[in-house]
Each structure stands twice: as structure tokens, then as C-alpha cells.
Structure 1
Amino acid sequence: MLPIFYSIGLLIILPASFIISLWKAPFKSKLEWLLDSMLTTALIVWLFQAGNWSWVGYYVSFLWLILLIVTFIFSWKKIRNLPFTIKYSLNQKFSIGIYILLILVFGTYNALVVKSYSVAEKGIELSFPLKNGTYYVGQGGNQVAMNYHQAHPGQKYALDILKLNTIGTRANGLYPEELNKYQIFEDNLYSPCNGKVVNVKNDLPDLTPPKSDSENPEGNHVTLSCENDDATTILLAHMQKGSLVVAKNEKVTTGQKLGKVGNSGNTSEPHLHIHAEKDGRGVPIIFNDRFLVRNSLVR
């Protein structure tokens, strides 16, 4: 239940409290309003980019941007006749200092997020391995702030991919135990390249969320060696038990069915984990000229 409360607190309660504060606060000067506006903007923009919106609804993130603009307009009308500065008390000066500090903190967060959108290393071009839906990147990018895999050299640039329903959430319910309530569960998984199957695993159980199997982190999986870069291996992990339709050393073509998405291995819920690895280090993955990051959509 902890991820549920964390998501609701971070993505709903926190931005709501900041927007209400900007709307209702009894500002004494335009400087106070400006600092509050800058802090609220920095927070909302950071959450818009870095929050995992698949829990509460992808489209909710755009609602906060709209509410932010509306709040700017109405709060400005309330304070536009105030002086820019006044003679501040000690407590007011302390509050201004806190505002400035928090603006710097969230400004740094936003800078790290922006940095995650690009990569200097040469990537491997692949075809997106899922079809027939709206797919959402839950973990991805070139910074730990957007992609926790960045902390692990062999999984650097890895992606965790979910599927969204019509209201922009990844499941019917906040954190259901039933696997078929997750949109991506049992989706067909296709080869992202022409190549050869290096390894497979097909007999591990699909687990009830939030149970996981840390002793078999990849779960049921396929490892591929692609023709365009046979020194790099591609891992597609957490597949459904018994769903694999390819064998070790078999040659595959782009778009050939490999199996289905499941919930096996070290996973908290059904999703596709994919990463490319060369000489023990992660390699950036490029899908149709796109380097995907958290909150990217593939339709």
C-alpha cells in the first residue's frame, strides 16, 4: 500500500497544496507572490516531467499545468496593486530565504530531468517490441532522477514499460492483485531486431503483486543478439510463464513473436523490462529515432 499513498501524496496532495497556497495566501508584496509563483511552477514542472503518472492517470499531469495557469491569472489580479517590496519583518525575511532555497532545490531537480532527455553515447536502433496500445515508460532516461536503472552499470539506459487504459492508468484499480487487471499483462512481445536467441527462461511462476523473486531477477526472459550489433545483447524480461515461442540459438526476425508480457522475477507488477548490454555496461536504446524517458508514450 505504501506506493499508493506515496503516489497520491506526491502527485495529488503536494501540488494541490502549493496551488491553493498561491491562490489564497495573503501576500503583502509582489516579491512574495513572485517567489511563491516561481516555487509552485518549479514544483509542478518537476512533477509533470518526473512523476510516475501511470498510478493516478497520465492526463492528470496536464490538469495541474492548466490549474497553475488559471491560478497565476486570478492571484495576479489580487496582488497587482501591491508594492513590489515592503519593509519585511524577521519572520518574513526568513520565509523569503526558505522560498529562495526551495526554488534552487526544485530548479536543480528540473535541470537533472532535462539532462536525462539526451545521451552522448552511441545507441542501438531497435523496433519497439509491443503493438496495439498506448505504452508508457515508467523508468527511462539518462539520470537516476528519471530512471533508477542508471545506478546499475549493466542496466544503464534500461526501460520499464507499462500500458495505459483509456483514462491513462496502467491498471483497473490502484494496485490490484489480479494480474489481468494490468493493461500490459499477456500482451504479445515481438523481436526488436533480426538476430539470434542467446538465452531463454520459460518456467518461472507469475507472481501476485507486490510479491517478487529476487533470486531470479530477470524472471522468464529472452536474450537476443542483433545482426546490426552482435556484440550487444538485448534482454526482454518478466515474461509470462510458458508463453515463450522461441528457443535458444533460434534465428528471429524483426516483429516475430517471442512470447507474452508477464509478472515473473524481481518485479512489483506486470511490465516489460528491456535493456541493451555490451561488455558489462548498458547501451542506449533508440526506437524510431527516439530516446525514451519516463513519461514518454508510444502509441
Structure 2
Amino acid sequence: MEIPLLILVTTQILLPLFFLMWLWLPRPADRLGWAMRVFYGACYFAFITVVGRWDFISSALAVVLPVVFIALAMLSFTRVRDRPRNASASVMRAHGLTAAMAVFFLALATRALSGYGYQETAVELAFPFAAGTYYIGQGGSATAINSHYADQSQRYALDIVALNGFGARARGLMPQDLTRYVIYGREVKSPCTGVAVSTHDGIDDNRISETNTAAPAGNHIVLACGTARILLAHFQKGSIAVRGGEIVMKGETLGRVGNSGNSSEPHLHMHAYLGGTLDYTTGQGVPMTFDGRFLVRGSTVTIP
């Protein structure tokens, strides 16, 4: 099992199961011990709900697991309500480590939540897909929820995948067949009316978990939308339907999602930047909104 997948299974399956079981076994010696377990578990669930990539398993679990935790926490209190408030001679010795870990995960969750807003003027765009349910894998204004944020030109970039009926981005955790990814082959629509100032095609799709760092955007299009430039990247080879210099209309088909460039699995990368250049690695990244909505990791968009 690859390291990223092992981390995902540990943080989003095994540890949540541990915190659910820990509410019951072993039974706390006092009510304070129960409260500390609940506090620790609640802080962890807050953290993983915000930063987790739930599209790998099911986006529904981001809601279901915290609800189950709350219900089990309330039910587990019946096992300790007749116990003393505190049976330990030293609260710090008995619960100090638990409290410290809880605060640690609470701080991480708070830091990630700071990425839910922005200060700059946003570029209003149309969502670049037609009917379906879509999930934001990377997005927001903090590195905890957006791996692109450290790059000046890509500060508010989005990585978009599509979800199946189970709320997962693919059939399987990390299938090798590109066609098992829901987003693969989906038509990408122009998010604005503007000019396709640059296009590039002819790059093959990568195998899963492999990337082409020599051509980071792979097959891509740069649109001029007013004063902003919009990069849409990782198209399928031979699918780009517009040429450089053409005027494109909002909602017009641009191409199909592939896995070319610096992409380990099928998704659409898009970011907006100011600077008036064709070089998508330069310029100043700016926020994007869709019907006034600023999308972050974990956001879902349903197009009827």
C-alpha cells in the first residue's frame, strides 16, 4: 500500500473507529475521564472532517461519522453517570496528555478553517462542468486544505473530481484503470466568455500515481477573462476543442478531463491569476467564486 493511501486509511478509517470504540472500552473510572475522551474525540473529528479527503471513501462519511460520534458519546454517558466526578489524585497526570492532544487537533482544525475565506477581490466564474456531483479535493486559502496555496500564482487553485452515487471519486480506493475515475472523460465547459489566449495538446495521460513534471499543466488552456487569466489543466490528449486566439463563450465545451501533466490521477485543475502573461506559473493568484460561492476542500457542487 502506498504511503498516501496508508495515511488516508489510518486517519479517516482506523483512528475514527478507535475514537468510537474508546468511548466504551475500557470504561472510564470517572466522569472527568469520560469527558476528556469525548473532548479528544470531538477535536479529532473536527480536524479530520475539515482536512480529510472524503472523496476517496465516501463524502457522506464526513457527515455520518461526526453524527455517530455525538450519538455514541451521549449514549456512553449512561455508563459513567453514577461514577464520581474525579477519582484521580492528579488531574494533570491522569488527563494532561489527552488534553494536550485534543488541543493540538483543535488548533489544526482552526488553522484549516482559516482557509475558508479570502481578502482579495474574487473573479466570478461559472462552474466548468455540466450535470453531476463534484467534489473539491484541493481548495481554499490555507495550505492545510489546499496544497497549491504556497505557490503565488496558484494560491486559490482548485482540483476538481466527480462523485458517483456512493460519494466516491472512483470505483475502488486507487484503481489503475483511468476509466474507473468518475471525472475521466467529462466535458469541461468554459467558465467565462473570453479568449483562449493559449492552448497545448499532444501529451499522453499518465498512469495512476505517476506524474509528468516536465509539462506540469499537461494538455491545457489559458483563457483571458477580463483582466484575469484562467488556467484549466490536465485534459485528455486530442480532446481540446478550441485553438489559441479563438473567442470562447461561457458554457462552451473546451475539452475532456484527462490525466496529463503533473497529475497523479484524473482531475481538473484550475486557477485564476493576474499579470496578463501566458506563463501560468507567474502572476498573482486570485480567488474564484461560483455563483458567489468560494469553494474549499470538501465542498460539493451538484449540477442538475
TM-score (norm 1): 0.95
Aligned to 2:271: 275
CA RMSD of aligned residues (A): 1.2
Aligned to 1:292: 295
Aligned to 1:167: 166
Worse-superposed segment, 43-52 or 62-71: 62-71
Counterparts of 2:14 and 2:175, CA distance in 1: 22
Letter in 1 for 2:204: P
Structure 1 residue 21: deviation in Å?
A: 0.8
Aligned to 2:234: 238
Worse-superposed segment, 109-118 or 212-221: 109-118
Structure 1 residue 5: deviation in Å?
A: 2.0
Residues 28-73 of structure 1: CA deviation (Å, up to 9, x unaligned): 2211111111110011121112100011111122221222022112
Structure 1 residue 271: deviation in Å?
A: 0.1
Identity %: 36
Q: In the TM superposition, what are the counterparts of 1:190-205 in structure 2 within 5 Å?
A: 190-205=189-204
Counterparts of 1:87 and 1:208, CA distance in 2: 56
Residues 195-248 of structure 1: CA deviation (Å, up to 9, x unaligned): 00111111000111111100000000000001xx32x21000000100011000
Aligned to 2:279: none
Counterparts of 1:51 and 1:270, CA distance in 2: 19
How many residues are matched? 294
TM-score (norm 2): 0.94
User: Is 1:253 matched with 2:254?
Assistant: no
Residues 158-214 of structure 1: CA deviation (Å, up to 9, x unaligned): 000000000011111111111111100010001100100111111000111111100
What stretches of structure 1 move > 3 A for 4+ residues in a row?
none
Gaps of 5+ in 1: none
Residues 92-125 of structure 1: CA deviation (Å, up to 9, x unaligned): 7434111111121111112112211111111100
Counterparts of 2:79 and 2:69, CA distance in 1: 15
Aligned to 2:58: 57
Counterparts of 1:24 and 1:252, CA distance in 2: 61
Counterparts of 2:92 and 2:7, CA distance in 1: 32
CA contact (8 A) 1:23 1:74 kept: no
Aligned to 1:125: 124
Aligned to 1:68: 69
Aligned to 2:278: none
Letter in 2 for 1:264: S
CA contact (8 A) 2:199 2:222 kept: yes
Gaps of 5+ in 2: 276-282
Letter in 2 for 1:102: M
Counterparts of 2:83 and 2:10, CA distance in 1: 34
Aligned to 1:262: 258
Counterparts of 1:180 and 1:109, CA distance in 2: 35
Change (3 A) 1:267 1:71: same
SS at match of 1:151: coil
Aligned to 1:158: 157
Structure 1 residue 4: deviation in Å?
A: 2.4
Aligned to 1:32: 33
Aligned to 1:107: 106
Counterparts of 2:29 and 2:263, CA distance in 1: 51
SS at match of 1:88: coil
Counterparts of 1:60 and 1:79, CA distance in 2: 28
SS at match of 1:168: coil
